[in-house]
Structure 1
């Protein structure tokens, strides 16, 4: 699913109106009905609903929603801001409609003294002040209304986008000029700004509502930001031939572990095996070998000369894919092993954990990474490589620059994990949950990527499949065990169930 920018959303609205027998006001009514159906179950006849509307189409949505809420018998008050010359045609139509509803109080806000008293215990606020077209700082009476709503302590529901939040990021907006919604009901697509951690306090949870925008118009949209869908992942899957054997599914090499970190090797190795790799060899320090062979008997082991750390890369030409990093530490001899590996392989590498820390200590090595290599940093690991970041949007832009410069893929781990491509495209993963913020979760992802890469899938496909499966397995684990009690091994345990269901 493409994630359009603000101008594309307007163009798509216009395309839908031009190519279907629907007027703009009717499309607004359709969107409002979708919102009302989601909002209605959380309303109570003992509570008051306050709907705050701006003069544009977002305000028009709010007026239509208010009319429906009132029509369902809920106590509703509407507050709008703006002069008649600022009203959009659809706002004006819906204002006339709601003013005919005697059960709704409609009030204009011109100054701070017009702001209503809000009982936080008995009020739900619907925010429809400013929409996706916002492109400047919020000030004046809009700023005062937003601050008043935020300070009320009442539950806030935003329509399409929290007022004050920019559709494509929020680097230029001051935080106290943005509505802090508990839930956002957004139309047709998530907005790019919803996917950055700094905006969670404004967006809250969000629900995407299908308002029936024209499918041809959606297909014609061009852009670089996408939300991964299971249909895309299914389209990559090649299946298995009845006459295939383990050699058809690749031989992977995993460099992992150091003293006290044998668990990282076990998790990555087990994840690779559970992801269908044909053969796996783990290059580990001598003392880790018996631990790994007992923990993952399906994996073969190649012991390093050193008992406690990885010190050399050895022969690598026979392997289809190689991963380096889980638990290896940052000893200078381990750094030399990574350097030799980069010099001696032409196939894309998967580099994670301490492998990333070693790259951060030796940034010139980035230029020698095989094209199509995959780096999987969490935010701190990324900052060690790219420098301090100011926001999720800033981090994404830096990652795009690095991916383009070195022809690599960067997986920015976290909520809505982003797969950043050398060509500028970014794919956001909607699966996963906070229970996955646990030791070893990243090692599991490394093993999954390694397996799909070894099976012959191109780097982009391997990355997208892996983050989607990883997150979905985490969601199954959380549903079964709860987010507080799940571990990285629970993610591994659920991988086969996810693959079975997705690729059936």
Structure 2
């Protein structure tokens, strides 16, 4: 699902009106009506007090239309005109005149000289002050209003975006943003919904299809995409009835150290559940019996070291290699990593301590094979690309790193980002229960398995990211986020793959 900029959204609206031979007001009426249909389902009763905060632009026009529909159906509505300017958009003015003529709700103006409205926790507040076009800080009195609402503990439904949210940058330290319980956003997702800088203001997000031109949407080029089930299904490669284990590739996992053997066992088990044909494992020899006991399907690569990974000659050609899980940062691990980077003739999946070693020994960055997938968590990412002031600068640093070394960066977070050069894929799956030891090891195994099966590096990373989160969602639904373990994620790979084929 494409994520668009403010200018692209405006273009899509304009094109849709022309294509469908409707006015911008008629499109506004459609969007507001669909938002109202959703809002009705969230109301506690007809007696619940509803307060609509409407700005003078088109976002406010949506709010005024919603207020009209609410009042028409007999709900108790107060409308506050947040007048930070004396001018109104034409469609906003039309809806305001209609609302006044209806005479079924109280209408009050709010300016910088007004007292703040009384809000109690039982109220439902609809925020329709600023939309996607915000490009400067909100006026001081509107920020004061936002602070007042955020402290009220009332339910807040934001129309399209929370007022105070920018589409292309993070708010300043002193800027207020409306804290939504629900965001009813139109047609397409917005990037800030999925970034940590806005995590405190984004509640439930519902994307409402308002019938904009699919033709124009397909024509608009966007390097930002939300990875949903529809996109994941397009990436999935169905298996052939006439196939054998050689058809689905041979993966090699290199990991583990004296006190971190579980990580490579988890990763190996994950790899075997990815659909790969064969999985070989190079790990400290002290862990060989444990791997055979837990995963008899895997094959072991002889290792001369009892406690660390090492460079070894393979008696086979690996189609993909995953390296880094649990290897530690010892001199032995560094030597072995450098050797494997040097000799690899296929893209790698690089995780955990391999990333820390590459960050510390920057000469290794130039040895990483092209189109490899690196999977840093926030701390590892900072060591690789440097510090950032906000999420948008972080995204640019990731893009620069990807371009410089021609690698795919899967930056793990609440909503993981998969970045290749200027292309950005935002994951829609996953939950806080996956913030648990071994979850990243499971991801590494899954990605290595997909890569070995012949998926391109980018497709393996995007699909693997989605499947990993989806399995975590299935697991959390069954057993709760609190009790979820990394092994549970693997147990739900089957449900995740089945979802792709449904």
Cα deviation for residue 312 of structure 1 reads 2.3
Cα deviation for residue 84 of structure 1 reads 7.9
1:80 and 1:109 in contact (8 A); partners too = yes
| Correspondence for 2:165 | 165
Cα deviation for residue 267 of structure 1 reads 1.0
Q: Does 1:334 align with 2:333?
A: yes
**What are the residue-to-residue correspondences of 1:280-429 with 2, within 5 Å?**
280-315=279-314, 318-422=317-421, 424-429=422-427
| Correspondence for 1:21 | 21
Inter-partner Cα distance in structure 1 for 2:454 and 2:338: 25
| Correspondence for 1:139 | 139
Cα deviation for residue 83 of structure 1 reads 7.4
Inter-partner Cα distance in structure 2 for 1:87 and 1:499: 51
Q: For residues 447 and 316 of structure 1, do their structure 2 counterparts lie closer, same or farther at Cα, with a shift above 3 Å needed?
A: farther
Inter-partner Cα distance in structure 2 for 1:477 and 1:39: 30
- Deviation by residue 1:389-426 (Cα, 9 ceiling, x = unmatched): 3333222211111001100000011122111003x100
| Correspondence for 2:442 | 444
Unaligned runs of 5+ in 1: none
Inter-partner Cα distance in structure 1 for 2:389 and 2:120: 36
Cα deviation for residue 313 of structure 1 reads 4.5
| Correspondence for 1:86 | 87
When normalised by structure 2's length, the TM-score is 0.96
- Deviation by residue 1:363-390 (Cα, 9 ceiling, x = unmatched): 2211221110000011111112122233
Cα deviation for residue 28 of structure 1 reads 0.8
1:168 and 1:191 in contact (8 A); partners too = no
For residue 499 of structure 2, give the secondary structure of its aligned residue in structure 1.
Answer: helix
Q: Compare 224-233 and 438-447 and name the one that shifted more.
A: 224-233
- Deviation by residue 1:268-299 (Cα, 9 ceiling, x = unmatched): 11111111111110000011110011111100
Aligned length in residues: 501
- Deviation by residue 1:415-440 (Cα, 9 ceiling, x = unmatched): 22111003x10011111111111111
**What are the residue-to-residue correspondences of 1:112-261 with 2, within 5 Å?**
112-120=113-121, 122-170=122-170, 172-261=171-260
- Deviation by residue 1:311-332 (Cα, 9 ceiling, x = unmatched): 3254386111101011111111
For residue 145 of structure 1, give the secondary structure of its aligned residue in structure 2.
Answer: helix
Unaligned runs of 5+ in 2: none
For residue 349 of structure 2, give the secondary structure of its aligned residue in structure 1.
Answer: strand
Cα deviation for residue 244 of structure 1 reads 1.5
Q: Compare 75-84 and 438-447 and name the one that shifted more.
A: 75-84
1:267 and 1:444 in contact (8 A); partners too = yes
Q: For residues 313 and 180 of structure 1, do their structure 2 counterparts lie closer, same or farther at Cα, with a shift above 3 Å needed?
A: farther
Q: For residues 180 and 241 of structure 1, do their structure 2 counterparts lie closer, same or farther at Cα, with a shift above 3 Å needed?
A: closer
For residue 152 of structure 1, give the secondary structure of its aligned residue in structure 2.
Answer: coil
| Correspondence for 1:75 | 76
Q: For residues 313 and 54 of structure 1, do their structure 2 counterparts lie closer, same or farther at Cα, with a shift above 3 Å needed?
A: farther
Cα deviation for residue 241 of structure 1 reads 2.6
Cα deviation for residue 224 of structure 1 reads 0.9
- Deviation by residue 1:28-75 (Cα, 9 ceiling, x = unmatched): 111111211111122233321111111000000000111112222221
For residue 452 of structure 1, give the secondary structure of its aligned residue in structure 2.
Answer: helix
2:158 and 2:184 in contact (8 A); partners too = yes
| Correspondence for 2:107 | 106
Inter-partner Cα distance in structure 2 for 1:316 and 1:491: 32
Q: For residues 191 and 151 of structure 1, do their structure 2 counterparts lie closer, same or farther at Cα, with a shift above 3 Å needed?
A: same
For residue 448 of structure 1, give the secondary structure of its aligned residue in structure 2.
Answer: helix
1:430 pairs with one of 403, 428, 443? 428
| Correspondence for 2:54 | 53
Inter-partner Cα distance in structure 1 for 2:235 and 2:40: 40
For residue 380 of structure 2, give the secondary structure of its aligned residue in structure 1.
Answer: helix
Q: For residues 334 and 154 of structure 1, do their structure 2 counterparts lie closer, same or farther at Cα, with a shift above 3 Å needed?
A: same
Inter-partner Cα distance in structure 2 for 1:96 and 1:103: 13
Inter-partner Cα distance in structure 1 for 2:8 and 2:135: 14
Inter-partner Cα distance in structure 2 for 1:186 and 1:363: 43
When the two chains are superposed, the root-mean-square deviation of aligned CA atoms in Å is 1.6
2:84 and 2:139 in contact (8 A); partners too = no
Q: Compare 237-246 and 392-401 and name the one that shifted more.
A: 237-246
Inter-partner Cα distance in structure 2 for 1:369 and 1:285: 23
1:56 and 1:87 in contact (8 A); partners too = yes
